[in-house]
Amino acid sequence: VLHSLRFLRVTVSEPSPGLPRFVAVGYVDGIPFASYNSSRGRVEPQTLWMAAGAEPGYWDTETEINSGAPCGSDTIPWVSICAIPPGLHTLQVVSGCDLLSNGSIRGSDRYGYDGRDFISFDLGSGSFVAADGTAQIIKRLWESDGITVPELKHELGHTCVEVLKKHVRYRREALERK
């Protein structure tokens, strides 16, 4: 892997002191570059190169994206964290892409529920992988929808790679200024 971009998003059904309802962290090459949590309500840089390199409006746009969904988090079509039964539950999403040294691209979007794999999408195969019977139902719904796969392919194969290249450039420019 030449470079990688990952976004980790975790939503909890019952926030508690010190545990916000929603947390998101972006990573470039394994280095956290930005984070958001619903308690602070703002995306913040985690590296000097990101703080210095981001174009005007970047932080406001990212804050709007992270705080704009219902309950201040990502939701997926089959569940809203707002409607989950009582008790502590978590929804985890890891999405991202890799730019390989041979120029090819690898991407995935993985969902977990209460710490277990639930459903994932692999850019290479262009298909969903369900971890259990409930996820199998969701997989069939998403596949019959016909919209999700093209959107995910575009997000992981194009948008993610462009964002990755931009963030790598920010880091490189910061290092060159030193």
30-60 pLDDT, tens digit each: 999 999 998 899 999 999 999 988 888 999 9
Is the pLDDT at 82 greater than 60? The verdict is: no
Mean of pLDDT values over 112-119? 91
Q: Pick the range with the lowest mean pLDDT from 122-126, 136-140, 144-148.
A: 144-148
**What is the model's pTM?**
0.86
If pLDDT is split at 50, 70 and 90, which confidence band does 69 have?
A: low
Residue 66 class from Cβ within 10 Å (0-12 exposed, 13-18 middle, 19+ buried)? buried
What is the residue-averaged pLDDT of the chain?
Answer: 85
Residue 145 neighbours by CB under 8 Å, 6+ apart: 77
Mean of pLDDT values over 16-27? 90
Q: Which CATH architecture has domain 3-177?
A: 2-Layer Sandwich (3.30)
Q: What is the pLDDT of residue 104?
A: 94
pLDDT exceeding 90 applies to what percent of the chain?
48
For residue 145, give both structure tokens.
């929808």
If pLDDT is split at 50, 70 and 90, which confidence band does 144 have?
A: confident
If pLDDT is split at 50, 70 and 90, which confidence band does 166 have?
A: very high
Q: What is the pLDDT of residue 88?
A: 83
The percent of the chain in helix, strand and coil, each rounded to the nearest 5, is: 35, 35, 30
If pLDDT is split at 50, 70 and 90, which confidence band does 68 have?
A: low
Name beta bridge partners: 73: none
Q: What is the pLDDT of residue 147?
A: 66
For residue 78, give both structure tokens.
């089959």
Mean of pLDDT values over 142-155? 82
User: Residue 109 — φ and ψ, nearest 5°?
Assistant: -135, 115
Q: How many CA atoms lie within 13 A of 53 on its CB side?
A: 21
If pLDDT is split at 50, 70 and 90, which confidence band does 75 have?
A: very low
Mean of pLDDT values over 72-95? 64
